[in-house]
């Protein structure tokens, strides 16, 4: 059995991505790093949002996760550097989420 984000979370992240003009085309899961991925990859245009399982599980209700995407200006970061992997994860204290941009998938 594979881990899946709650349907409500998947729907909310898909809606957020669509609002940015990036309808989700793929949702791979990185089992090694426990990260779920929402990706828009159409005709050479690729935007990828990685969110750790922990951030998904710890951030309730899901509206807080979407608010964090806006508050942290994640869409702006993704537009400025679409080649980067944009990762949303729990803060070290576990009370909020933080965003990182990585040159490639987490290792």
In a domain, 60, yes or no: yes
In a domain, 107, yes or no: no
Q: For the segment 71-100, what is each residue's pLDDT rounded down to a tens digit?
A: 999 999 999 998 888 999 999 887 889 999
In a domain, 49, yes or no: yes
DSSP assignment of 34-100 equals TEEEEEEEETTEEEEEEEEHHHHHHS-SHHHHHHHHHHTTHHHHHHH-TTSEEEEEE-TTSSSEEEE
Full pLDDT tens readout for the chain, 107 residues: 477 899 999 999 999 999 999 999 999 888 888 899 999 999 888 999 999 999 999 998 999 999 999 999 999 999 999 888 899 999 988 788 999 999 887 76
In a domain, 71, yes or no: yes
Q: How many structural domains are present in the chain?
A: 1
In a domain, 2, yes or no: no
In a domain, 1, yes or no: no
Q: List the domain range (segments joined by +) for residue 34.
A: 7-102
30 close to 53: Cβ distance less than 8 angstroms: no
In a domain, 38, yes or no: yes
């Amino acid at each position: 059995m594979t881990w899946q984000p709650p349907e409500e979370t998947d729907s909310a992240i898909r809606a957020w991505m669509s609002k940015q003009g990036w309808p989700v085309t793929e949702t791979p899961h990185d089992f090694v790093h426990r990260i779920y991925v929402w990706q828009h990859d159409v005709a050479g245009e690729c935007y990828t949002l990685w969110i750790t399982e922990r951030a998904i599980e710890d951030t309730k209700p899901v509206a807080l996760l979407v608010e964090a995407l806006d508050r942290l200006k994640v869409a702006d970061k993704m537009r400025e550097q679409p080649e980067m992997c944009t990762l949303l994860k729990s803060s070290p204290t576990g009370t909020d989420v933080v965003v990182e941009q990585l040159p490639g998938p987490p290792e």
